[in-house]
Every structure is written in C-alpha cells, then in structure tokens.
Amino acid sequence: MCGIVGILNKKEDAIKMALDGLSSLEYRGYDSAGIAYQKDESIITVKTKGRVQKLKEKIDKNEKSLLAIAHTRWATHGEANDRNAHPHTIGDITIVHNGIIENEQELKEELKKYYTFQSDTDTEVACAFLDFYYQKTNSMIDTITKFMDTIKGSYAILILCKKEPDTIYAIKKDSPLIIAINEESKLIASDVPAILKYSKNYYVLEDMEWAKITKNDISFYQKSKKIEKEINTFEGSNLSSDKGCYPHYMLKEMMEEKESLEKTILPYLTNLDLLTDVSKYKKIEIVACGSAYHAGLIGKYLLEEKANIETHVELASEYRYKHLFLDSDSLVIFISQSGETADTLAALKKVKKQGIKTLGIINVKESSIARYVDDVLYTEAGCEIAVATTKAYVTQVALLSLLALKAAKKKKLLKEEEVKKILEEFYQLPRQVNDLLQEKESSKKIARMLTKEKDIFYLGRGLDSYVMMEGSLKLKEITYLHSECYSAGELKHGSISLIEKGSKIFIGATTELNDKTISNAKEVIARGGEIILITNDDTLLQKERKERILIPITSSFVSPILEVIPLQMIAYYLGCYLKRDIDKPRNLAKSVTVE
C-alpha cells in the first residue's frame, strides 16, 4: 500500500536517496509515484501513474537537492492517474500522505470557498486544510495542532512549507512513520526497508505525535506539547531485498520456508517454557485478515480439539465494530505479518481499551502491532516481499500449533510420550517442507493442466478445509482466476450446482474425517468433476482421482503446514504460466494500512 520517503541531507543527493527509498517500498503494491524537492526558492513536483522507474525517467539525472519527499500511491480516493498521484500542493504547502481522511467531504465543502481542487483525493483536502490554517496563523505548531484536532481518519503525512525551507514536518495517526538519522542525513519513511541502507537508528512516531526535522535538529511534539523521544536500533535480520537467483520473490520466499520454520520453532522445541502459556484462559479470540485469518482458523481447531479452550476466529475488519464478549479470563491473539494492517491494529486498540490481555503473532519486529500488544511471539520468517504471503503464513501456523501443544501438555490432555512424538514431528517438519518444495515437477504438471480453467474449487473438512481456504486465496491472488473453497459437507446445500463436466476440484484429505470427505468427492466426480487430491493416504480415490500429491503422515499439529506447500507451489506456477505479475498482483498491496 502507499509508501512514504523523506530525505533531508547534508549532500545534494536527496532526490536519488528518496527514489531509491521508493524502490525498496515497491513491494508494498502501488499504482503511481511522485516526488517533491527543494530547488533554490521553489518546490518542484514530478509525478506519474505507473512504476517508480517511470518517475525516475521523468527526472533530469543532473537535478540535485538537499531535501525531497516522495510517495508511492495505492488509489483509494480517485483513480490511479498523474493528477491524483502525490505530492499535492496548495498555496505554500506540499504534502505526501498515507491513510484516509474520513471527514474529507465536509471539509472540502468548506474549503471549496477558498481553493480550487485539481484532484479527486482526500490528500488534497488535507493539504488545503493545512494551507488555510497556516495562512491564518503563520505557525506550523498551531496549524498541525488544529489539523490533529479536526481531521478524522488515519494519516502519516510529510509536509513542506514554502516559507520554511530546509524543513520537513512529519505527522502521524494510525499509519506508521519512522525517522532515522545518520551523520549526513535525516530519513523519514513509512516502512523500515526504505531507510535500512542508510541507518539502523530510528525514532518511531506514535499517534498524535509529530516532528519538525531540519538539517541539524529534530524536535518532537505531541500536539502542541514538546516531548523527548528515545532512539531505537533496528535488530532484525535477513532483510535482504535481493531476489538472488530466483525469478520471483514468491519463489525465493517459498524456498526459504524451511529456514523460516527452523528459526521460528527450534528455540521452543528445546524449551516449551519459552512459549506463552495460554492454558489459563477460558476463552481465546483470534483476530486477523486474509491469510493470517486462515492461519487463525487452524489455531482455533488445535486449541479447541487438543487443548480444550473455547476459541473464536474473527476477521479484524468486522471485529473492530462488533460487540465484544470478553473478560479477565479471555485472551485475544492478533496475527499479522506486517504488524501494520489497519483493521487488525484498530481491533487491537479496541481490545486494549477494555483492559483485556493481548498476544501478537507478528513478523515485523518494529511494527505498530508488535509494540502495542502485551505479549508478542515473533515469526522469524525474515523480510517478505512478495505480496502473496507464503513463509510468514507457515510460521504463523507453526506458532499457533505450538501454543496449542504447550496448553494441551500443561492441561495434561496429552501424555508425555505423545508430546515427545509431536515434538519429534516438529523437528522433522522443516526437512519435510523442503522435500515437498523440491517436488516442483508435480506442481508444474498440475498448474499446466489448469491454464485454461475459469473456476477452480477447493474442498475439505475441518483442518483440511482451512488449508484449502488458503490454497484458494493464493490461487485467486496471483492467477486472477476465480476460485472458491467450500466445506466439503456443505457443498450439496447449494454450491454443487456449479460443478460441471471437467470442473477442477482440489480436495484435501489428511484427517480422521477422510471417509466423509471422500464421499463428498464422489458426489462431485459423479457430476463430471475432476479431482486433484492432496492427501497422506495414497489408497484414497486411486481409480477416480485425476492427480494426487502425497504428503507425509503426521499428527494434525504439523499436517496443515505440509498440506499447504503444494497449494502454494501450484498457484505460483499457474501464475507464471498465465504470465501474471507474481510479486505484485494487480490491485493488491503487501501491507494494508487503510481500512
């Protein structure tokens, strides 16, 4: 989603640094890009629909500046075009903005009396608002305080004021913004990769905080009050954004699944005490979006079936607006790769207001959600660049599974020998995942078979259905083909009408409910459906199945992780055959920082 970079430098290479920063944020997904830089007394703006490369081509290579703000836009208000791209300028003010201004309409009505708007964006309204109050007060402190008191919604904004050269203002609410420093530069960004090349020391702006950044100084404020802030040091690893020998980040990241799992689970396998104890809670709610939500469904199954803890899984976008039934015996788990997903963050704030205990399962260590939760477990998947999550998802499932295992052990619902056997399965898991990843030919063969399809179905029961939901989402994201996942037993209550001769149906059958799933499979076969079976039992549908992928026999603590690997691979190869933009599929963003 939208990305922000701001540079204030002692040397005149702010333009190049800002554009490089934008390139490292490209993975977030965007549809236009722009930059504003200071030249003599003026502020020059260049912007374009399309990629950062196109923006670079529009800027004279000899152009130099000490100061630049730049932006990649993922359209929310108004289509993706040059006019709507950021930065926007009104009067003396130029801004780039991540987030959504919710009271834009009512503000625009008022501001229309004084300004003519050129774009369809809420950002231009924010810009006009800032200019209006700046002209009135001649004070940026008063203007920003007024802005924070009036504006509803979310924003990370960089502001340039023509009358205050060599200065960038950075303001923040519900959308991340960090400020890094080194001897030469001040770097402001919405995301760590944009600054990492230059500095590991950074400040994090919290909601309703802002900063005035000049060449020699940074001062921080909370509304009109001056505050002090502590500097952080980035400690993450494996943040290389290098594709290495792989044609796509998605393939590279799948190939890193073994290592990601090892890093995530090995410390706990040797010492389960290091893991959060969830056995004391009577009720757990898991809140997440997209693939993280699918991981949560697997967590629910294991926490309920193995650890006997009532567990609900909720979509963050719904949860943030619903009545909550929580008390001191409840725990709410927030799962997020980015740690910045707007809905998940809003849901977390709502739960925290009620004083309920929270646990995060998060990949990005410096993220907002990781900082706000009471307790956090990190998925050690490293930097995930491809929009479609793979390695972060499997590590999320692995941590949830270990939480359930520890709780079951604590509650003595599993015997010592059973726990030992399951731990042994976890030790074997990374290698087994790697073995499945090496079976590229069977995934390619199935992908080739699907290139002419328009609708692809996924079926399963219980755990299998949750894994199939993830398989279906992965396929939709990177192939743009229509796909649905149904609980196998539910099919004949309506959706079976979609099945026709030649329909391709993935079926997951890895649990004690296999017999039931196979009966449902026969119902679709009888209607001409062709089955691609993902199973750990090779005797199933031997004559009837069109294709099958065999995964190792394991307990349900690890089987979902093995089962999803071929589904990720098939989606990937099908996307390649269909010549899709694998790492940046259309309309999608890596980090969904707006509601």
Q: Give the interface segment with ligand F6R, choosing from 100-108, 337-345, 530-538, 553-561 (CB under 6 A).
A: 337-345
Q: Quote the crossing angle between the two packed helices 559-577 and 463-479, to the nearest 10°.
A: 20
How many angstroms separate the Cα of 284 from the Cα of each of 279, 362, 397, 404?
A: 10, 17, 16, 11
399 binds ligand F6R per the rule CB under 6 A = no
Binding positions for ligand F6R, 507-526, rule CB under 6 A: none
Cα dihedral 75, 76, 81, 87 sign: negative
Nearer to ligand F6R, 303 or 473 (CB): 473
Question: Within 467-486, which residues bind ligand F6R (CB under 6 A)?
Answer: 473, 477
Tokens of residue 112, six digits: 């229309």
Do 437 and 255 meet the contact criterion of CB atoms below 8 Å apart?
yes
DSSP string, 146-190: HHHHH--EEEEEEEEETTSTTEEEEEEESS--EEEE-SSEEEEES
Q: Is 162 a known active-site residue?
A: no
Q: Which residue, 337 or 556, has its beta carbon nearer to ligand F6R? A: 337
Q: Which x/- pattern over 275-294 shows residues binding ligand F6R (rule: CB under 6 A)?
A: --------------xxxx--
| DSSP label of 78 | S
Closest distance of CB 358 from ligand F6R, Å = 15
CA–CA gap between residue 523 and residue 493 (Å, rounded): 12
CB of 322 to ligand F6R, least distance (A): 19
Active site residue 590: yes
Looking at 337, 358, 487, 511, which residue binds ligand F6R (CB under 6 A)? 337
Q: Which residues contact 550 (CB under 8 A, 6 or more apart)?
A: 535, 536, 538
Burial label for 245, CB within 10 Å (0-12, 13-18, 19+), is exposed
Site for ligand F6R, residues 416 to 475, rule: CB under 6 A:
473
Least Å distance, CB 469 to ligand F6R, is 11
The region of 55-63, 191-199, 332-340, 576-584 touching ligand F6R under the rule CB under 6 A is 332-340
The Cα-based distances of 355 to 328, 349, 561 in angstroms read 8, 10, 34
Give the orientation angle of helix 104-111 with respect to helix 122-137, to 10 degrees: 50
* C-beta closer to ligand F6R: residue 128 or 565: 565
Tell me if 264 contacts ligand F6R by CB under 6 A: no
Contact 224, 210 (CB under 8 A): no
List 2, 161, 485, 576, catalytic entry = 2
Choose which of 389, 503, 510, 568 interacts with ligand F6R (CB under 6 A): 389
Site for ligand F6R in 369-388 (CB under 6 A): 388
Degrees (nearest 5) of the Cα angle 591, 469, 264? Answer: 60
- By beta-carbon proximity to ligand F6R, the closer residue of 98 and 591 is 591
What does the per-residue mask of binding to ligand F6R show for 173-202, with x meaning CB under 6 A?
------------------------------
What kind and span of H or E run contains 95? strand 93-101
Q: Which residue in the shown chain puts its C-beta closest to ligand F6R?
A: 290
Q: Which is nearer to ligand F6R, 381 or 450 (CB)?
A: 381
Closer CB to ligand F6R, 350 or 548, in the complex: 350
Q: Which two tokens stand for residue 69?
A: 């703000």
Q: In the complex with ligand F6R, which residue's Cβ is closer, 140 or 288?
A: 288
Footprint (CB under 6 A) of ligand F6R, residues 338-367: 338, 341, 344
At its nearest, how many Å lie between ligand F6R and the CB of residue 396? 8
- Cβ-contact 337, 389 below 8 angstroms: yes
Q: Is the dihedral of CA 137, 141, 143, 148 positive or negative?
A: negative
Which one of residues 104, 592, 593, 594 is an interface residue with ligand F6R (CB under 6 A)?
592
Q: How far is the CB of 338 from ligand F6R (least distance, A)?
A: 3
Q: Which stretch binds ligand F6R (CB under 6 A): 54-62, 192-200, 336-344, 431-439?
A: 336-344
Helix axes 416-438, 257-270, angle to 10 degrees: 170
Q: Total number of residues binding ligand F6R (CB under 6 A)?
A: 15
CA dist., res. 179 & res. 274, Å (int): 33
Give the residue among 352, 292, 282 at the shortest CA–CA distance from 316: 292
Taking the complex as a whole, the smallest distance from the CB of residue 290 to ligand F6R amounts, in Å, to 2
Distance CA(293)–CA(336), nearest Å, equals 9
> Which tokens hold the place of 13?
């290479």
Q: Given the residues 56, 172, 391, 590, select the one marked as catalytic.
A: 590
* Listed ranges 45-53, 66-74, 259-267, 333-341: which one lies at the site for ligand F6R (CB under 6 A): 333-341
Q: Transcribe 243-288 into DSSP letters.
A: -TT-S-HHHHHHHTHHHHHHHHHHHHHH-GGGS---TT-SEEEEEE
Give the residue with the Cβ less far from ligand F6R, 94 or 390: 390
Instruction: Kindly identify the residues of this chain, within the stretch 94-153, that bind ligand F6R according to CB under 6 A.
Output: none
Structure tokens at 545: 């199945």
**Tokens standing for 296?**
């949560």
Dist CA 122 CA 97 (whole Å): 9
Q: Does 260 bind ligand F6R (CB under 6 A)?
A: no
* Alpha-carbon gap, residue 594 to 317, rounded angstroms: 11
Q: Kindly tell me which residue out of 336, 432, 503, 520 binds ligand F6R, with binding defined by CB under 6 A.
A: 336
- Could you tell me the smallest distance in angstroms from the CB atom of residue 293 to ligand F6R? 7
Of 10-18, 30-38, 334-342, 532-540, which segment contacts ligand F6R by CB under 6 A? 334-342
Nearest approach in angstroms of CB 397 to ligand F6R is 12
| Closer by beta carbon to ligand F6R, 292 or else 531 | 292
Shorter beta-carbon distance to ligand F6R: residue 87 or 471: 471
Q: Amino acid identity, residue 78?
A: G
Closer residue to ligand F6R in complex, CB, 154/291: 291
What's the closest the beta carbon of residue 28 comes to ligand F6R, in angstroms? 11
Residues found near ligand F6R in the complex (CB under 6 A): 289-292, 336-338, 341, 344, 388-389, 473, 477, 591-592
Active site residues: 2, 590
